């Protein structure tokens, strides 16, 4: 069983909808990440939260809005998305700080924008 849980597993949304992706981990990790992955491509880092503060934003469009309510939860709010935003969205977590250990990934949310 994965130790990082993402919901929902699948999501279809219109370009005018607002939706949220959720991610939860209970490993005590202090770093959490959002990645976007297109088919047959490597994951692309979107955001990094370190100790519940946004530490990296890889120039992601503002229609994606991350939120870290506490050390166990990470959300990604979606608004006015485009069809090209359709992808697999992966959440991951790892120990915080320098030289942090490996990332644990969730099963991902397959997002389709229509």
Partner 1 sequence: AQKITQTQPGMFVQEKEAVTLDCTYDTSDPSYGLFWYKQPSSGEMIFLIYQGSYDQQNATEGRYSLNFQKARKSANLVISASQLGDSAMYFCAMREDNTNAGKSTFGDGTTLTVKP
The footprint of partner 1 (CB under 8 A) covers 2, 31, 33, 40-43, 45, 48-50, 55-56, 88, 90, 92, 94-108, 110
Please identify, using beta-carbon distances, which residue of 45 and 80 lies nearer to partner 1: 45
Q: What are phi and psi of 58, to 5 degrees?
A: -80, 55
Taking the complex as a whole, the smallest distance from the CB of residue 16 to partner 1 amounts, in Å, to 26
CA 24 to chain centre: 10
DSSP state of 83: G
Please identify, using beta-carbon distances, which residue of 66 and 106 lies nearer to partner 1: 106
**Both tokens assigned to 55:** 């530490």
């Amino acid at each position: 069983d994965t130790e990082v849980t993402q919901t929902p597993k699948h999501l279809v949304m219109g370009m005018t909808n607002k939706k949220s992706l959720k991610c939860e981990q209970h490993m005590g990790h202090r770093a959490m990440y959002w990645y976007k992955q297109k088919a047959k491509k490597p994951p692309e880092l979107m955001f990094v939260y370190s100790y519940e503060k946004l530490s990296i934003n890889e120039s992601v469009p503002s229609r994606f809005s991350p939120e870290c309510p506490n050390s166990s939860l990470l959300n990604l709010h979606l608004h006015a998305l485009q069809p090209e935003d359709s992808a697999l969205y992966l959440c991951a977590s790892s120990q915080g700080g320098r030289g942090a250990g490996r990332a644990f990934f969730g099963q991902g949310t397959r997002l389709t924008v229509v």
